Chain A
Amino acid sequence: MSAVATKPTHSHYESIEADNFLISSRGFLSWALTLDHKRIGLMYLIGVMSAFFLAGILALVLRTELMTPDQWFLTTQQYNQVFTLHGAIMVFLFIIPSVPAALGNFLVPVMLGAKDVAFPRLNLGSFYLWVGGAIFFLSAMLYTGLDTGWTFYTPYSTQTRGPVVAATMGVFILGFSSIFTGLNFIVTINTMRPPGMTWFKMPLFLWATYATSIIQVLATPVLGITVLLLAAERVFHIGIFDPQYNGDPVVFQHFFWFYSHPAVYIMILPGMGIISELMSVHCHKSIFGYRFIAYSSIAIALFGFLVWGHHMFTSGMADVTTIVFSALTFTVSIPSAIKVFNWLATMYKGTVQLNTPMCYALSFIFLFTIGGLTGLWLGALSTDRHLHDTYFVVAHFHYVMVGGTLVGFLGGVFHWWPKMTGKMFNDFWGLVSCGFVFVGFNLTFLPQFVMGSRGMPRRYARYLPEFQEMHQMSTVGAYLLGLGLFVALGVLMHSLRKGKKAPPNPWGGATLEWQCESPPPYYNFQTPPTVNEPYDYTPLVYRDGERGWDYVQPELPAKPVAH
């Protein structure tokens, strides 16, 4: 029967204190060999943040070089290498593992009221595959400088003197890390839901993670074989991609985008899951259109497999093929729009709290919508002819990847930071960071839409003087964005030292992770939590700033929860 969730009293706190996963065991090995999903999630968080820091610095280097139309301090070859590093690190080491591996690892079992993911050792293994892959990948790219761009397009990648083979093996390893994470989550969500949690009582973050995991499991192996064949092409000249041996370079593009387009949804779907949580919790209002949001995640995951050709409209596909790909591309906008409208409807008549996580969530909606809508220009055949390979494309995918995923990720980090570390951050400075990020981001990338539509090609180290003003705006924006991110980092680091102790439920969330302590004890839950409606806020009562929100079992004869 439904055991009423134990109300944490103060003495209760202290007994759990020593049990908290951060300090329940000590020493380097207790972290390095841990099977605890929370610790693995935190290690991933540190890892992806480091990768992001590195690639972010590289972005600033690129933007600085672009202050002047002619050479300032990078040769064209160095420019190629730097943008390759920036893109490859951001994609393979940051965005793809960011939300699923870092936040997902922490949250999936806790949201399920479970003790751990289904395969804890596989989970640790996937973290070390990520670390090993990252080291291999970075050292390979730095050794002689990879200059193919993160896409490894043939025939250039079969001819360049850069370390393509080693870099692709790094990608191969990273791919398996991603596959194992996805596999683990699917199994966890399928087999470890607690009694009473049906599919439609799952938090939407879990739906998004589930959809992401499907893509990771289905698409990433194709990337694996693609990079393996590319490496074989370099070493044995197998003549599949290399025109010199009767191969077809466009085949590589098909193989590559069969993974990398779904991978775009690996990047954005978890961000959407975060926003679904944030919108509901910080508006204290049940999410609007739960089923639509849940199904749209799955729809995006499935449609995502059918649209890869829109990256290749100009590489000589048959006309009919391009038309079909274009039409399919437009279908993806339907589930994306469903999500945006439902988030907005959730805010309607809600008690909107403009705190840091919510402001990041609002930024997400604004920026993602711009990113999504500009995607329609690129999905339409006639306009894509003109915009292909210009800064318009650069701006478009940065609006989705940075404005969407990164901002959503930051919102999620702020939202769950008290849960993960047990510390509250300074909300004012959090809002300042959000403001800098929002303004800086738009200043960086809005001019790029204009430049792109006027014909500024992407990946060029030198450009015509007429673009200089907009490039300079963009560079200034990039610095503002960087500043905002540093402020965000500072806020979080400051909270670790000086932050107030976080109550179990600082925001008033109704999902299960807010029922355990902050930070959670090693086994997450002392007693199995009571499964309730994830977005029903009526039983939540606000105590005060110290104690946050309490979950009060309704007085009415509670619906018996089957055990």
Chain B
Amino acid sequence: MTSHAHDSHDASHGHDEHAHMPFQAHHFDDPEQQFDAGKLGIWLFLVTEVLFFSGMFCAYALYRSLHPEVFTFASQYLNETLGATNTGVLLFSSLTMAWGVRCAQLRQRTGLVICLAITLGCAAVFLGVKAIEYTHKWDMGLLPAGEYVSQYLQTSHHEGLSSWLYVLSAVPAMCVVGFGVWYVMSVISGNKQKAEIAGPFLVTALCYFLGVFIGIVFQNAEAAAHAEHETAAHASDSHADQGHSDHSDAAHGVKSEPMLPGKLVNHVEPNSAPGAPTLAAVDQAGGAGVFFSIYYCMTGVHAVHILGGIAVLGWLLIRATKDHFNEEYFGPVDYVGLYWHIVDLIWIFLFPLLYLIK
């Protein structure tokens, strides 16, 4: 790895050699050794990240194999459109991140700032969409096992924006105001470098609300489609009986329950093993909550990683505006890029496992 650099230089010569390398740490012989150390370090960190998530993937596999019917039932409540949107957003952000690394290597300062800003914006859009998904579920009582409200017994129906959404959006709203003021101030005072930092930060904060907007639009579209489907189902199923407590007829009970998504009718089979509790019984006992436990744990920890990513991307952006990166020194961009890709990659696994597999 570093051997040929070692061969030609004695370690003690390292210092005068990197007079033009302001970010060379004193204990490394040369920039190459520093870069290799950082690269190995970040890969090891990614290994720990994979193992960190592995516990939850194990829990998923275990409970899915123990209660497959619960997973089939409960995953109906996840909105694939929103999930797919977020997948696209993250994939695109990975592209801009990789592009940013290339810009850093080519010393394209403006290109790097733009790429980092877009990546940050995508991260914020992701969180905005996630906020809609979460708050919608909280309103419906789709909560971890202990707080889970059975969808068979659920009668209340929430309209309009969730009050939780206001809680979650408080910090981004403050960011919009803060970065907005900072941006305007720096433009007025003519501080170009500060404006270059404040501008992308403002856009990032605004992107959260763009995500919220996208989320609301798709959520409403889904609800409208669902309502339409339900009306149609009611019209055709004139014989739909009302006995959803009747265990032998649980599938029909599902049909007449307004809170259940329409497509459930086609997919969910009552547990067919003789003597086994029906899905309705499992759900009423809160047993379906384990799906949402795992959902919140996995996506929640993932969202925390997105937040961490926003923090380090912001740090990179500030350094990029100061023109710290060049052909010789682009390690931090590379490392953050790898981190960002793994966060993306984990989502690539979460999306099908939670949203798509029936």
Contact = CB atoms under 8 A, between A and B. Distances in A.
Interface of A: 109, 114-120, 122, 179, 183-184, 186-188, 190-192, 194-195, 217-222, 224-226, 228-229, 232, 236-240, 242, 245-248, 251, 255, 527-528, 562-563
B166 interface: no
B289 interface: yes
B260 interface: no
B11 A528 contact: yes
Contacts of A187: 37, 40-41, 44
A184 B37 CA distance: 9
A395 to B, nearest CB: 32
Given A183-B44, A221-B51, A245-B289, A528 B27 contact: no
Contact of B294 (A116, A220, A240): A240
A191 B44 CA distance: 13
Contact of B45 (A118, A183, A238, A247): A183
Interface stretch (B56-64, B153-161, B170-178, B338-346): B56-64
Interface centre among B28, B41, B62 (most CB of A within 10 A): B41
B261 interface: no
B144 A222 contact: no
B7 A563 contact: yes
Interface centre among A190, A217, A225 (most CB of B within 10 A): A225
Contact of B53 (A118, A184, A186, A225): A225
B164 interface: no
Contacts of A239: 144-146, 286, 289-290, 293
Contacts of A528: 10-12
Interface in B261-289: 285-287, 289
A219 B54 CA distance: 11
Contact of B145 (A218, A238, A527): A238
A247 B37 CA distance: 43
A238 B48 contact: no
B59 A237 contact: no
Contact of A195 (B6, B27, B52, B147): B6
A119 B28 CA distance: 10
Nearest to A195: B6
Interface residues of B, number: 46
A237 B144 contact: yes
Contacts, number: 132
B19 interface: no
Nearest to A237: B146
Contacts of A240: 59, 63, 290, 293-294
Given A217-B44, A229-B59, A116 B147 contact: no
B36 interface: yes
12 contacts: A117-B27, A183-B48, A187-B41, A221-B49, A221-B51, A237-B146, A238-B290, A238-B294, A239-B289, A246-B290, A247-B290, A527-B12
Contacts of A119: 37, 41
A240 B36 CA distance: 41
A218 B144 contact: no
B245 interface: no
Interface string B3-47: 000110011100000000000011110000100110011001101
Given A192-B27, A245-B145, 6 more contacts: A191-B33, A218-B48, A229-B55, A236-B144, A238-B293, A242-B146
B297 interface: yes
B56 A225 contact: yes
A116 B25 CA distance: 10
A194 B27 CA distance: 12
Contacts of B289: 239, 245
Nearest to B287: A246
Q: Which 6 A-B pairs have the closest CB atoms?
A: A237-B146, A239-B145, A238-B293, A225-B55, A116-B27, A115-B27
Contact of B56 (A117, A192, A229): A229
Nearest to A225: B55
A251 B144 contact: no
B7 A562 contact: yes
B145 A222 contact: no
Nearest to B32: A191
A219 B55 CA distance: 11
B2 interface: yes
B233 to A, nearest CB: 31
B357 interface: no
B44 A251 contact: no
B58 A218 contact: no
Contact of A237 (B10, B26, B147): B147
B27 A246 contact: no
Contacts of A118: 27, 37, 41
Nearest to B25: A120
A553 B52 CA distance: 49
Given A192-B33, A238-B297, A240-B59, A186 B44 contact: yes
Contacts of A242: 146
B1 interface: yes
B27 A114 contact: yes
B48 to A, nearest CB: 4
A47 to B, nearest CB: 23
A528 B59 CA distance: 51
A183 B144 contact: no
B47 to A, nearest CB: 6
B5 to A, nearest CB: 10
A246 B289 CA distance: 10
A255 B26 CA distance: 41
A247 B144 CA distance: 12
